[in-house]
Amino acid sequence: MLVQTDKKSVVSTLDWKPSVAEAVVALGRKHHGHYEILPVQGVIDKPIVLDIPGDYQGWTAIPIEMDDSYIPPEARRQERIVRENFTVLQTIILHEPKPVEEPKPQRDYTKVKEVGTVLGNLTVAGVALAAGLIYVLGMGLLYDPALCVVTEDGTWIILIKWEI
């Protein structure tokens, strides 16, 4: 098929080929995926924090072999679909940073008259602190991961996101 672009030239649309990233995104649509192209290029050999405009600013990118996060079966399926059709240089797990919460005001226990109340509150606070530490140590400071592949041309494409 020929398309006239102006009065002097004609371009064949048969020669046009989508970029690798566009082709991967189109493949994702066929398999019910919602892939996103990131403005990042190349492979990484250690965790990095993304410094890009948009929704992924501040996310941490970790090569999959360095990350022990749970990866759901649907994420593995989407990765397999892409690997069966394209050369994938690397798989990366992206982690959204946890939002920083405002510190809660501390209660002033100097005015409390009953020692039992103070000890009871300290016990509850100690249990809560221990549970919080276990959670932070177990989950780290990152959450809501995304699976990303790096295509043969170095483009990063997010295949799927999930919640922890």
Percent of the chain with pLDDT over 70: 62
Alpha carbons 66 and 107: distance in angstroms, whole number: 41
Residue 118: which of 109, 126, 127, 131 has the closest Cα?
109
Strand partners, 11: 3
Comparing 49 with 10, the larger pLDDT belongs to: 49
Cβ neighbour number for residue 40 with a 10 Å cutoff: 20
C-alpha distances in Å from residue 107, one per residue of 11, 17, 110, 115, 131: 74, 65, 9, 15, 20
pLDDT by residue (tens digit) across 87-142? 999 999 999 987 766 666 666 555 555 555 555 555 554 544 444 433 433 344 55
Question: DSSP letter at 21?
Answer: H
- Name the pTM for this structure: 0.65
Q: Is the pLDDT at 29 greater than 90, yes or no?
A: yes
